[in-house]
Amino acid sequence: MATSKIKKGDTVRVIAGKDKDKEGKVTVVNRKDGKVIVEGINMLTKHTKPNAANQNGGIVNVEGPIDVSNVMLVVDGQPTRVGFQVQDGKKVRVAKKTGKVID
C-alpha cells in the first residue's frame, strides 16, 4: 500500500468546503476510506442516548471526517504539497514548496 502523505499529528489547512482556510491538527487518519479527522474542523451535532460514559445523554458536538484531498499539509506556516525522496535508504516526506524534509 502506498505511503500516506498526511499522518496523525500533522497540522493541516482545509482548502475546500464549509471550513475553508481553517487549520487544525490531524487526530485520526483512515487510509482505507481516504478520510481524516481534524481538531475543531467539520463539527457535527450528534444526539446521544444516556449510557455509562455519558449519564445524561443529550446533544454533543463531534468532529466529522474530511476527505484527504480537501486538506493540505502546513509546513512553517505555509500550506504545501507533499513529495517523497529516499535518503539514507529511508523514504521521507518532503515539502514541495521549500524542499524541506518533514519527518
pLDDT in tens, 24-63: 999 999 999 999 999 999 999 999 999 998 889 899 999 9
**39-70 burial code (b ≥16 CB/10 A, e <16):** eebbeeeeeeeeeeeeeeeeeeeebebbebeb
The pLDDT of residue 103 is 77
User: CA 23, 66, 9, 103 torsion: positive or negative?
Assistant: negative
The C-alpha atoms of residue 11 and residue 25 are separated, in whole angstroms, by 4
Give yes or no for a contact between 81 and 69, defined as CB atoms under 8 angstroms apart: no
Number of alpha carbons in the 13 Å side-chain half-sphere of residue 52: 0
- pTM for the structure as a whole: 0.84
- pLDDT band of residue 2 (cuts 50, 70, 90) is low
